[in-house]
Chain A
Amino acid sequence: MHQDQKPPGTLRIGAGASYAGDRIEPAADLAHRGQLDYLVFETLAERTIALAQLERLKDPAKGFNALLGARLRAVWPAAVAAGTRIVSSMGAANPLGAARHAAAVAGELGLPGLSIAAVLGDDVLDYCRAHADELLLMESGQPLSSVAGQMVSANAYLGADAIVPALAQGADLVLTGRVADCSLFLAPMIHHYGWSWDDWALLGQGQVCADMLECGANVSGGFFADPGYKYVPNLGALGYPYVDIDSAGIGVIGKLAGTGGLISRATCSEQMLYEIHDPSAYVTPDVIVDFTSVSLTEIGPDRVRITGGRGRARPALLKVSVGLREGWIGEAEITYAGLGCVARARLAEEVVRQRLDLAGVQIAELRVDYIGINSLHGQASHPTGVDPYEVRLRFAGRCRERKDADLLVGEVETLVGKGPCASSLPRLYVREVIAIESVLIPRSAVSPQVVMFGGDRDG
């Protein structure tokens, strides 16, 4: 059988994105020649939806993924021709606005009669405000009320049960806000095969396969290559993965012939362990997943079979990401090069610290990095014993007020002309901090709903 041919009796789900700004052309390739049943775009990191909420506050028509239109234009005509349905979290903070935009794009592309679903119900800001005294921040144990004044968003991680009704109503495109990443992939499996909502073993195995795809190209050779150790062919033309899944939840991960990248036991193992804690109890809204009996078998070039996933009853509580305004971060970087560069950078640090004291700049936490020496691992960095040829000095400070962040970067700016000799020009950045905390809420606090647009169903 040709590598790309879908095995009979399987459902093929492709991963078209794993973050908001992901590449588009590999998704278009999947749409054009992947024989996909479903194409999934996962685009929400922890903070993405809080930033989208701020955008929406400024402009009520915005707050969904900025690449929605570009992605649909690249994949939709081919997807419609192949009978591929699309599921995506590109709705972000505004699934309704996203669905309206998608309907306009469908018109522009001359694709009439498509039906588009917006999945609502993840926004639980009102609930969290009303229950701020009893909800506890998961990491610190403090009540949510201690930071209630800073809250800008609160979104519950919905599960596959919020998406399947949209598929059952015939949606060609489903746009959600916050849902658990793997639930975007599990929903088409449940809908297609009619899996029971309490067949935990089956849902667990399905979710293991979904988990393989939720980070997109991370399973097909992305973020894997290490020259001399881990080789990935044609990394620049990385192909995005799909899963061929059967009615028992057994999946085979693959990618299109001719694309770059690699799918192997090693890439699948790294992806399986990515962002899990206890591997026997990975909590998703649909099922608690047990990875400890999973087997990964290479059955052909760039094809790995996934078996042995298990599951237990889904949790009673749903996780909520709460977005908080937390002040400002000022960052400034400047490079010194040549003989004595590290000594000059150290003097520059001294000068800036002295200036910040003199000016009384209010900084809650200041971090100073020597890029080239210790910027990523701090005191844990391995000393090399020799100075690098050049070093980039970086200051980052967290401030309550924007004016202090501005003052911090200003003191780095004036190093040129007033600090040690022979540096680059500095680069300065000031940004607002939207921090994310998590709380748990009862399932009864959310009521997901589907709003359909277009097609024959909306008149």
Chain B
Amino acid sequence: MAEFFLRELAHARAGDKGDTCNIGVIAYRPEWYPLLLEQVTVERVAKLFDALVKGPIRRYELPNVQAINLVMEQALGGGVTRSLSLDPHGKSYSALLLSLPMEVPPAVAAELLALGRSPCS
């Protein structure tokens, strides 16, 4: 199966509360939502964010808007107000998440290629 970045299938925004970061991930098309449910798993997200997130990660599903909400604890360098990071709120974490490689079935790959999207190299 072809691999594309999550960015091709979904959009995302990150938010902060204390030392906890959440990322809402929303499928561009309802028919792509099952791919998110199947592959944007806590395990894969934990691996991608291993260097940044020290605490547990929880995943919530919102089929009503074809979205997943990822909640990551101890993720913001001790908290927005004391972090040494240039991005204390973790607002750029959504872009890291969208770099997750996704295996897509041939029909979806054909759709993405028709849109001018490129597979992961």
Chain A positions within 8 Å of B, measured between CB atoms, are 46-47, 138-139, 223-224, 226, 229-230, 265-266, 269-280, 291-296, 308, 326, 329, 365, 367, 369, 371, 375-380, 382, 394, 396-398, 433-438
Residues on the B chain within 8 Å of A434, using CB: 81
Chain A residues within 8 Å of B86, by CB? 369, 371, 375-376, 394
B82 in contact (CB, < 8 A): yes
Residues on B facing A (Cβ under 8 Å): 7, 11-13, 15-20, 22, 24, 26, 28, 48-52, 58, 60, 62, 64-65, 67, 69, 71, 79-82, 84-87, 91-93, 96, 99
Across-interface contacts of B48 in A (CB, < 8 A) = 380
Which single member of B11, B71, B80, B84 contacts A397 (CB below 8 Å)?
B84
A226 proximity list for chain B (CB < 8 A): 11
The 4 A-B pairs of least Cβ separation, nearest first, read A273-B24, A275-B15, A379-B51, A396-B84
Query: In the complex, A155 Cα to B56 Cα: how many Å?
Result: 28
Q: Shortest Cβ distance from A274 into chain B, in angstroms?
A: 4
Shortest distance between the CB of B80 and any CB in chain A (Å)? 6
Please name 6 further chain A to chain B contacts, defined as beta carbons within 8 Å, in addition to the given A292-B64, A380-B96, A398-B84, sorted by A numbering. A46-B17, A47-B80, A270-B11, A274-B15, A380-B51, A434-B81
**A363, chain B: closest CB distance, angstroms:** 10
B67 touches A308 (CB 8 A): no
Report the minimal beta-carbon distance from B10 to chain A, rounded to whole angstroms: 10
Determine the residue in chain B with the shortest Cβ distance to A295.
Answer: B64
Given A272-B65, A277-B71, A398 and B82 touching (CB < 8 A)? Answer: yes
- A378-B13 contact given A46-B80, A47-B81, A396-B84, CB 8 Å threshold: no
Residues of A within 8 A of B13 (CB): 223-224, 270-271, 273-274
Q: Which of A273, A379, A438 has the most CB of B within 10 A?
A: A273
Contacts of A379 in B (CB 8 A): 50-51
Across-interface contacts of A433 in B (CB, < 8 A): 81-82
Which of A266, A294, A371, A436 is B64 in contact with, Cβ under 8 Å?
A: A294
Is chain A's binding surface mostly helix, strand, loop or mixed? mixed
User: How far is B99's CA from A319's CA once the two chains are assembled, in angstroms?
Assistant: 35
CA distance A437 to B81 in the complex (A): 9
Q: How far is the CA of A293 from the CA of B64 in the complex (A)?
A: 6
Tell me whether B26 and A273 are in contact (CB under 8 A).
Answer: yes
Judge whether B64 and A329 touch: CB under 8 Å: no
Residue of A nearest to B73 (CB): A139
Question: Can you name 6 A-B residue pairings with CB atoms under 8 Å?
Answer: A273-B69, A275-B17, A277-B22, A294-B65, A369-B86, A377-B96
Q: Are A274 and B7 in contact (CB under 8 A)?
A: no
With A274-B15, A380-B96: A296-B65 Cβ-Cβ less than 8 Å:
yes
Measured CB to CB, the closest approach of chain B to A21, in angstroms, equals 15
The CA of A128 and the CA of B20, in the complex, are separated in Å by 24
Closest to A382 in B: B99
B16 lies within 8 A of A275 (CB): yes
Contacts of A291 in B (CB 8 A): 62
- When distances are taken between beta carbons in the complex, the residues of chain B under 8 Å from A378 are 51-52
Question: Could you say which residues of chain B place their CB within 8 Å of the CB of A396?
Answer: 84-85
Q: What chain A residues lie within 8 Å of B65 (beta carbons)?
A: 265, 269, 272-273, 294, 296
